[in-house]
Structure 1
Amino acid sequence: MSFGQTSSVCAVVVTYNRPEKLAKTLQLLLGQTYSLQKIIVIDNASDERTKDLLSHFKSRSEIVEVHYLLENRGGSGGFHEGMRLAMESGEDWVWIMDDDAYPTPDCLYKLVMASADAPVRVAVQVDQLGQKYGIYRWDNAVKALPVDDNQLYQPIDLFAFVGPCFRREVVVAVGLPRADFFICADDWEYSLRIKGKGFSAVAVTNAIIHHNYGETSRVVERFSRKSVRDGQPAWKQYYAARNEIEILRSSNSDSLVKAKYARNLLVKWLRITIGEIVFEANLSKIKYRMKGIFDGLIGKMGKIK
């Protein structure tokens, strides 16, 4: 560790066929003002361009460690494997993100050196419009919270896997993210497990990660409000719906709480579906969502073929 650093940190990055974005993420991690002890990259069976890039970074820095998966296990499978390896490595903190997350140089410093007691500390995301987002509360549904810049440590319940930093004891107590989600809602499920174990989480509102949605993103203006929408392929709606059903099925909450969550899911899906019918020409998302709901109800998990 560098002079003045009190804790060791291992970063975990999951990547799949985005070498240009991955290169920027790794450069920013290597340039953090609070030095990392290790960077574990989980490659989800990417093509040769990604492998060549990772070979370059491995030769450039001894802290970069790459693990190549034989098949694409999705974000959830990648984070499961990466956090498992991070725990074996033994650092005090684990800092995880996708390959399109661009932390500012002092992001990790602000997370680790925060005076908050919370063992889970989350960076705030900034989109292409400069809007801050990415923190949530749980009220039998995921509720987005506005980032309060006047509150340095903002209590939260849920977060995305774009820059959360976990103390080691949290992962020991809670376990690893569920690999069988493949993609979507694995971060919600993990957040709720952390909350259920009694650990607190805060957003460190001056710790910033610029999140690049990518080439499929677009700026949408509806009712005089602009936002950046991630133009995800329709098939991802399958995993989003199925995995939210699985969160409901696997919850230890009482029947009344589950009923409220189920109601909120139905309202959410109805609202989204109406929006797709009104604003989008391609309605295939609805088909995938219905299939995901069905498979969620029967408990079919894993990657679909």
Structure 2
Amino acid sequence: MNERARTGAGRLVAVVVTHNRPHQLRVTLARLLEAPEAELAAVVVVDNASSDGETGRVLDAMSGPRLDVFRSETNLGGAGGFEQGMRRAMAEHAPDWLVVMDDDARPEPGALAAFHACDLAGWEGVGAAVYCPDGSICDMNRPAFNPFRSARLFLRTAMGGGREAFHLGPEDYRGPERRVDILSFVGLFLSRAAVERVGYPDPGLFLYGDDLLYTLGLTEAGGRLKFAPGVRFEHDFTSHKGGVKRFVPLWKCYYHHRNLLMIYRRIAGPLFWPALLLILPKWLSKIRHYSGERRLFLRLIGAALRDGLAGRTGTDHATVVARFTR
């Protein structure tokens, strides 16, 4: 029996993006490399110009025939890292499917076998159920629908449902597989056909929303995505736990709002401008969290609006940091 017959997905290759988180990376790579080759043929790691010294030692210590490391001379951000990693995986490892994740995320034991056991006929993307280490659902990685895809969904969102109206809830994590529009880059399985259909993430997005725009683009191009609750991932995400959500360093605020504006414009269509009238006051109200940095915060929001409305993603990251660092 050949490999494709034994594993329904055929040849699976993982893509991991890392930057200065060696302890997380070590756990993730150990988990991935525990899987037999029939379940995971190779792991491509994009080291985004890590400067801590330890990341390189972790990668050297874990080197082996299945580990392929690309060391970038500059920090490409999450978006640029996934773009480079996916390109390398496609060019060097001939995958039938890719699975992408950050360095602080990894499959739970048995997750890759569960993916191979899925019915993949007719699907170009499969999203895992992503949980925090304490077993709670990881909110930032919940699959979603386009809230503008139907009048009913839009009204439910607008009439107080908020993001709960178009994101999957706990009952969906206990239910059967179902079709969705949007998935995150944590535990996202992409077929070769998906990449051939829509290409690679836009590296100019740098941080935030690259996964939403990519999977929305795939859905709009006719690709079918599903959520598979039986495929479980862990995301040890701690950056915003506790306290007020504010961006540190502040330049991250630019990418978040610029890219979010591009997402809203893409999903809202003709309703974008009325929606912007509701969104912008909420964004500006966040100024209360930036005592001592309010003028810089307003400059960031202004730049995000200007570039987001123009769909401009080509600004060099070093320029962004220099422009928006006090």
Whether contact under 8 Å (2:128, 2:229) holds in the other structure is: yes
Q: In structure 1, what is the equivalent of residue 220 of structure 2?
A: 196
Q: Specify the SS of the correspondent of 2:186.
A: coil
Q: In structure 2, what is the equivalent of residue 4 of structure 1?
A: 6
Q: Specify the SS of the correspondent of 1:271.
A: helix
Aligned pairs for 1:252-271 (under 5 A) are 257-271=268-282
Aligned pairs for 1:1-305 (under 5 A) are 4-6=6-8, 7-32=10-35, 35-47=39-51, 48-58=53-63, 61-88=64-91, 89-117=93-121, 118-132=123-137, 133=139, 134-140=142-148, 143-147=166-170, 148-214=172-238, 216-219=239-242, 233-247=249-263, 251=266, 257-274=268-285, 276=286, 283=294, 285=297, 287-302=299-314, 303-304=316-317, 305=319
Structure-2 separation of matches of 1:201 and 1:232: 33
Higher mean C-alpha displacement, 95-104 vs 114-123: 114-123
Structure-2 separation of matches of 1:4 and 1:69: 36
Whether contact under 8 Å (1:248, 1:262) holds in the other structure is: no
Alpha-carbon offset, residue 165 of structure 1: 0.1
Whether contact under 8 Å (1:19, 1:53) holds in the other structure is: yes
Q: Specify the SS of the correspondent of 2:173.
A: coil
Alpha-carbon offset, residue 245 of structure 1: 3.3
Alpha-carbon offset, residue 208 of structure 1: 1.6
**Structure-1-length-normalised TM-score:** 0.84
Whether contact under 8 Å (1:213, 1:230) holds in the other structure is: no
Higher mean C-alpha displacement, 238-247 vs 76-85: 238-247
Amino acid aligned to 1:9: L
Alpha-carbon offset, residue 45 of structure 1: 0.9
Gaps spanning 5+ residues in structure 1: where?
222-228
Alpha-carbon offset, residue 268 of structure 1: 3.6
**Percentage of matched positions with identical amino acids:** 28
Alpha-carbon offset, residue 219 of structure 1: 3.4
Structure-2 separation of matches of 1:5 and 1:300: 42
Q: In structure 2, what is the equivalent of residue 226 of structure 1?
A: none
Amino acid aligned to 2:143: I
Whether contact under 8 Å (1:178, 1:186) holds in the other structure is: yes
Alpha-carbon offset, residue 264 of structure 1: 3.2
Q: In structure 2, what is the equivalent of residue 225 of structure 1?
A: none
Write 1 or 2 for the structure with the bigger share of strand: 1
Whether contact under 8 Å (1:15, 1:44) holds in the other structure is: yes
Structure-1 separation of matches of 2:290 and 2:249: 13
Structure-1 separation of matches of 2:133 and 2:248: 16
Gaps spanning 5+ residues in structure 2: where?
149-153, 155-162, 320-326
Q: How many residues align?
A: 289
Alpha-carbon offset, residue 170 of structure 1: 0.8
Q: 1:262 to 1:76 in 2, by over 3 A?
A: farther
Q: In structure 1, what is the equivalent of residue 322 of structure 2?
A: none
Alpha-carbon offset, residue 178 of structure 1: 0.8
Alpha-carbon offset, residue 188 of structure 1: 1.1
Structure-2 separation of matches of 1:167 and 1:159: 14
